[in-house]
Structure 1
Amino acid sequence: MRGKLLKTMRYGQLIDIIYLSKSGEVTKRRIKVLKLQGESFQAYCLTRHAKRTFRIENILGCIPVMNRKKDII
């Protein structure tokens, strides 16, 4: 997981994550990774419109956001 986060940070790519909070709530977040720090990382959360700190071990899944332009007919 750490490798994926480094890659998205390096390329400035957005990712969607499924995250388990401290309280046990599962949420879907769209984030941009800003900084990795040991077992956690800072990211800008587009869902909450704020910087947040996430624990790497609490990420249940992630997928890069692909922006595809649709053809206009």
Structure 2
Amino acid sequence: MSIKTNYTVTGMTCGHCEASVKEEVSEVPGVTAVEVDRANNAMTVVSDESIDQAKVIDAVEEAGYEARPAGA
């Protein structure tokens, strides 16, 4: 069963920004897919098991952007 977790990501302005975020978050252990939508400042992370949200947020910050769980 896949788990989808939504995040708000700020600071992305172009396709390269989306690609950077996707690349970094894809490296988080347990992540199976990442969808990034800069127009809506949104990111969906898909995993087979529960993953540490702090690791996902750290990966986004490593790419140079800010993230938080959606709705937070």
> What TM-score, normalized to structure 2?
0.29
Higher Cα Rg, which structure: 1
More strand by share: 1
